Amino acid sequence: MIKTFRLRKKLGNNKNEKGIILILTDDIDIRNTFKLLFKDSGYKLMFESKGIKMLEKLHKYKNKRIKLLILAIELPDMSGLDMIHKLKYINDSVKTLLIDNFGVSEIMQQTLNFGADYMIRRPFIPEHILKSINKILN
């Protein structure tokens, strides 16, 4: 009985779960940062490194409680802008946080105009990410 409960909690079947956060990046450091930031947060994290795989997850979980998609502006198989565009057709209630390496104001403005809810530049401070995510989700 105890093992079953632990397994359910680990897989995110906990009734107290706040929702799902999808993270799309091929950068292992960013993945590890988010794992630490969201430890014991109540959110279930799902990671992918390629846009096509993330689109499959978005379709699979579109009726679930996906709260946020965090993604890099540059992906191995598509741009972050393309992903945001496709996301809006699948589930337009999912919020987006785009991670940008460039910090070019023209790209940032284009991204926000294209539908991103928020954008942060790298390198970033973990506390700033948490504040940004709280603004997006609340």
Side-chain-facing half-sphere of 17: CA atoms under 13 Å = 18
Give per-residue pLDDT as tens, 15-50: 457 889 999 998 898 899 899 988 888 889 999 999
Helix (H, G, I), strand (E, B) or coil at 96: strand
Q: Is residue 1 part of a domain?
A: no
Q: Is residue 51 part of a domain?
A: yes
End-to-end CA distance of the chain: 36
Q: In Å, how far are 21, 34, 48, 61 from 56, measured between CA atoms?
A: 15, 21, 10, 9
Q: Is residue 22 part of a domain?
A: yes
Q: Is residue 128 part of a domain?
A: yes
Total count of domains within the chain: 1
Q: Which residues contact 12 (CB under 8 A, 6 or more apart)?
A: 20, 44
Q: Residue 60: give its domain's CATH number.
A: 3.40.50.2300
Q: Is residue 93 part of a domain?
A: yes
Q: Report whether 22 contacts 69 (CB < 8 A).
A: yes
Domain that holds residue 71: 16-137
Q: For residue 62, what pLDDT is reported?
A: 80
Query: Which residue, 35, 73, 69, 43, is CA-closest to 54?
Result: 69
Q: Is residue 49 part of a domain?
A: yes
Q: For residue 122, what pLDDT is reported?
A: 78
Q: For residue 16, what pLDDT is reported?
A: 55
Q: Is residue 102 part of a domain?
A: yes
Residue ranges in the chain modelled with pLDDT below 50:
1-13, 15
Q: Is residue 10 part of a domain?
A: no
